[in-house]
Chains A and B, each alone.
Chain A
């Protein structure tokens, strides 16, 4: 059976570490950002159809906003351990062994996401140095990349926290 974003999956129990609860709040903020982007698109579409005046560069804002929203979602998905995995071949192992395997992959996940965070920090600095902006609105891109990098750092910490909980048998 593979684990997924199944809405019927129970919420994690009590004693959730602070960092994971934070991931939940940040995901809700990201969701609100996504809703705001949706609102912006609707205003732009109405403006374009009925008043012949679309929101200028809505395209760019939506891409940027949706990207940041997705970055806010990743830590929450990890806190819920929502990433899809296949457990068909390992189900015969004792539960504790499987928990340790999962903890190991969470550490690998943390390392990988930490690496991506470093890449993004470098990328943000490069965009800052070259002063790259979006085409139409001339909005600087580096703050968005820097924010993404910060959220990837949060994701790294959440993955370490879930690994720790798996090792302790709290998950």
Chain B
């Protein structure tokens, strides 16, 4: 069997096993291992795996992932999401649909300390949903807003997805974090425009309410330490004061100290945060391990190189290829887990993108593509039929049918597609800040 046939066979087998409920990381690991053995021998695989698991995990760059997850888990349990929502409510609450906009801005701020969309969705499901329901916001509109707000957890740096992208494609994490900022803030702005548009057309979704805004200075006083941590972590990484790992470590320790000083973190909450970190990290690292083995097999089959050569030899305009790849990502993201999708496709897609000529230096294309991938991942997290954020909010808001949440999310997805088009057409939206700050 030629390497190429074997690679296609491997992909097919893996997808079949995944469809048969085999955990994704395990199926990548097993198929990758069998392919590896078929191409060489058991002996070669055994000596490859001897210390590979350890050395893969003992990677300084990778340690940023558990540290960012820990920082987010501590933030989630310190009740900061409620305080952020109160603060945003104090500023936007009186506008029509203002509470929904407050969710978006609070998620944006929370996204700067949390790198996970699931965690952001869950925490605002608890912090903001009761308030939206109290003011008689429509169920699907409220849950849809929180589900899309949750994606800001990864759209605003730090972002676990970007770290995974950076590691898989060997790009600079700090540069990706810089590139993500403007498109991330655009997302928040666009979501607010969507909210304004939706409530204008269908005012009954968000009844006008005398929202008690409270003392704006007082609510800001409750959130400034956390906002300061976010600015130091992200700013420090931007300014090169520290590496992403150091930023994450600083953020985790600072969150812990603030939580202890404000007495918002009990011992039980800290243990809970550690356990949540363990659960999420374990899930991510099994997929990372599986993809490592699968990619070792794929690289030996030379399929990624051949695929890139084939695509470039077709003479298609680069932008057509890019649009096709992104469309494929949106389709895959609708039915697949986003992290696994990236780890499976990047080894093949990334060389293709690198081989195309967009009139930009190769490293800028890599950064730009990372941001485009981040946007499609955000879409995948909320798009039917399999949108992880929607499942998370549905498990919290059991009275709202899942179909209503999907309907509520649709206008936001429309905005995401517009934003995706803008960043495709104007790479500077992502690259400008990278150029200015370096």
Contacts and interface: CB of A to CB of B under 8 A. Distances in A.
Nearest to A24: B275
B277 A6 contact: no
Nearest to B122: A7
Q: How large is the interface on B (under 10, 10 to 19, 20 to 34, 35 or more residues)?
A: 35 or more
Interface in A83-118: 83-90, 98, 101-102, 105, 108-109, 112, 115-116
Contacts of B18: 85-86
A44 B49 CA distance: 33
Contacts of A49: 241
Contact of B62 (A32, A66, A82, A90): A66
B118 A67 contact: no
B23 A84 contact: yes
A5 to B, nearest CB: 4
A134 to B, nearest CB: 10
A82 B285 CA distance: 12
A63 B52 CA distance: 14
A6 B283 CA distance: 11
Contacts of B245: 41, 62
B283 A34 contact: no
A contacts with B: majority SS: helix
B415 interface: no
Contacts of A160: none
A79 to B, nearest CB: 9
A169 interface: no
A66 B282 contact: no
Interface residues of A, number: 69
Contacts of A74: 282, 285-286
Nearest to A147: B54
Contacts of B271: 28
B337 A34 contact: no
A35 interface: yes
A30 to B, nearest CB: 6
A161 interface: no
A8 B396 contact: yes
A1 interface: yes
B388 interface: yes
B274 interface: yes
A126 B49 CA distance: 13
28 contacts: A2-B337, A2-B388, A4-B118, A4-B283, A7-B119, A27-B282, A32-B274, A34-B67, A38-B249, A49-B241, A62-B63, A62-B249, A63-B59, A66-B67, A67-B59, A67-B63, A72-B278, A73-B278, A73-B285, A76-B278, A77-B283, A78-B282, A83-B24, A84-B339, A89-B19, A112-B33, A119-B53, A145-B54
Interface of B: 18-26, 29-30, 33, 46, 49-54, 57-60, 62-63, 66-67, 70, 76, 118-119, 122-123, 125, 241-242, 245-246, 248-250, 252-253, 256, 271, 273-283, 285-287, 335-337, 339-340, 385-386, 388, 391-392, 395-396
Interface of A: 1-2, 4-9, 24, 27-28, 30-32, 34-35, 37-42, 44-45, 49, 59, 62-64, 66-67, 69-74, 76-78, 80, 82-90, 98, 101-102, 105, 108-109, 112, 115-116, 119-120, 122-123, 126-127, 144-145, 148, 152
In order of increasing CB-CB distance, the 8 nearest A-B pairs are A77-B282, A31-B274, A66-B63, A67-B58, A41-B249, A123-B51, A27-B278, A123-B50
Given A37-B63, A84-B25, A112-B26, 8 more contacts: A5-B276, A7-B123, A34-B66, A82-B283, A101-B21, A119-B46, A120-B51, A123-B51
